[in-house]
C-alpha cells in the first residue's frame, strides 16, 4: 500500500533550472568556458561539484580540487542571491495542488533533493509545511543515481520503499528511485524519464486522481 510520497525539488516542485543556468553562465563567461542550455540540462539533478566537473569535461579542462570548490562556491553565491526573487507564485503548475491534496488525505510527504539550498527554496515558496521530512544535499553523501536520498526519506517517514512513490524530473533521479525499490513518477520527456513507472509531461497533469488510477492496486 502506498503511504508516502517523496518529491525531488528542482524540476518537480519549482523550476530553478533557469536560475542555475544564469549563475553557471556568469561563471563560465568569466572563465571563458563554453556553456549553453544543452550542457545545463546535463546538470539536472546532479550535485554542485559533479556539475562543475561536467562543465569542465565539456571544455576539455581540469582543475585542482581547491579551485573546483572555490569556483563552485562562487557560482552558488550567485545562485543563492537570485533565490531572493523567488516567491509563492513560483511553484510549477500543479505542484502546490498535489501537495495540498496529499496533506488533506493524510499521506506522509518527504523532500528528496540533491540541492544544499533546498530549505531556502522551500522557504521562498512558503512550502515547508507540506513536508514531514526534508532530505537534501546535506542529508546523505552519495548523490543520485544512488538511492540514498530517497532511502533517507523513507526511513525518516518509517516506511518501506515499496510504500512510497518518488517524483523526479532527472534521468539519474528515476535511476535512483528504481535502484532503491521505489515506485516512480517521471516528470518530463520520454527520452529523459521514460523509464519511470508512470510519466507525465508536466506536474499539471500529475493529479492524485491520475496517480491513484494508475497505481490502483496500491491504494
Ligand atoms: P545546489 P534536485 C538539484 O536539485 C538540481 O537539479 C541540480 O541542477 C543542482 O546542481 C543540484 O540540485 C545541487 O544544487 O547547488 O543548490 O546544492 O533536482 O535534486 O532538487
Ligand atoms: Mg530535479
Distance 144 CA to ligand 2 centre (A): 10
Say what the pLDDT of residue 116 is.
96
Q: Is the CB of 10 under 6 A from ligand 1?
A: yes
Mean pLDDT along residues 83-97: 97
Q: Which of 8, 136, 169, 175 is catalytic?
A: 8
91 φ/ψ angles, rounded to the nearest 5 degrees: -70, 150
Distance 138 CA to ligand 2 centre (A): 16
Say what the pLDDT of residue 132 is.
98
Minimal CA–CA distance to 72: which of 57, 50, 91, 93? Answer: 50
**How many C-beta atoms surround the C-beta of residue 103 within 10 A?**
14
> Over 90: is that where the pLDDT of 106 sits?
yes
Provide the 3-class DSSP secondary structure of residue 184. Answer: strand
**How many C-beta atoms surround the C-beta of residue 160 within 10 A?**
13
- Asked if 132 is an active-site residue, the reply is no
Measuring from atom 13 of ligand 1, which residue has the nearest CA?
Answer: 115
Q: Which ligand 1 atom minimizes the distance to the CA of 144?
A: 19
> Over 90: is that where the pLDDT of 83 sits?
yes
Burial class (CB within 10 angstroms; exposed 0-12, middle 13-18, buried 19+) of 192: buried
Helix/strand number for the chain, H first, E second: 10, 6
Mean pLDDT along residues 49-70: 96
Mean pLDDT along residues 47-67: 95
pLDDT, tens only, 6-40: 999 999 999 998 899 999 999 999 999 999 999 99
Measuring from atom 5 of ligand 1, which residue has the nearest CA?
Answer: 45
> Over 90: is that where the pLDDT of 150 sits?
yes
Say what the pLDDT of residue 17 is.
86
Q: Which residue has the cell 557560482?
A: 75
Report the distance separating Cα 217 and Cα 219, nearest Å. Answer: 6
pLDDT, tens only, 110-148: 999 999 999 999 999 999 999 999 999 999 999 999 999
Question: What share of the chain has pLDDT > 90, as a percent?
Answer: 96
CA torsion, ordered 54, 56, 60, 64, to nearest 10 deg: -120
> Over 90: is that where the pLDDT of 45 sits?
no
pLDDT, tens only, 63-75: 999 999 999 999 9
Distance 212 CA to ligand 1 centre (A): 29
* C-beta of residue 166 within 8 angstroms of C-beta of residue 12: no
> Over 90: is that where the pLDDT of 154 sits?
yes
> Over 90: is that where the pLDDT of 98 sits?
yes
- Asked if 34 is an active-site residue, the reply is no
Across all residues in the chain, what is the average pLDDT? Answer: 97
Say what the pLDDT of residue 81 is.
97
Amino acid at each position: 500500500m502506498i503511504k508516502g510520497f517523496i518529491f525531488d525539488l528542482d524540476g518537480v516542485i519549482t523550476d530553478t533550472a533557469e536560475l542555475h543556468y544564469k549563475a553557471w553562465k556568469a561563471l563560465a563567461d568569466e572563465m571563458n568556458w563554453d556553456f549553453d542550455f544543452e550542457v545545463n540540462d546535463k546538470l539536472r539533478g546532479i550535485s554542485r561539484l559533479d556539475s562543475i566537473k561536467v562543465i569542465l569535461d565539456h571544455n576539455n579542462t581540469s582543475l585542482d580540487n581547491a579551485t573546483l570548490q572555490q569556483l563552485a562556491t562562487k557560482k552558488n553565491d550567485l545562485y543563492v542571491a537570485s533565490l531572493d526573487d523567488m516567491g509563492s507564485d513560483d511553484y510549477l503548475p500543479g505542484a502546490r495542488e498535489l501537495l495540498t491534496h496529499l496533506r488533506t488525505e493524510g499521506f506522509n510527504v518527504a523532500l528528496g533533493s540533491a540541492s544544499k539550498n533546498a530549505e531556502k527554496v522551500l522557504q521562498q515558496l512558503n512550502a515547508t509545511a507540506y513536508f514531514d521530512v526534508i532530505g537534501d544535499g546535506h542529508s546523505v553523501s552519495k548523490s543520485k543515481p544512488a538511492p540514498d536520498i530517497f532511502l533517507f526519506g523513507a526511513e525518516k517517514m518509517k516506511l518501506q520503499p515499496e510504500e512510497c512513490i518518488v517524483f523526479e524530473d532527472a534521468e539519474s533521479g528515476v535511476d535512483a528511485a528504481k535502484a532503491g525499490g521505489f515506485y516512480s513518477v517521471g516528470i518530463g520527456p520520454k527520452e529523459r524519464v521514460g523509464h519511470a513507472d508512470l510519466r507525465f509531461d508536466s506536474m499539471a497533469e500529475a493529479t492524485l486522481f491520475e496517480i491513484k488510477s494508475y497505481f490502483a492496486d496500491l491504494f
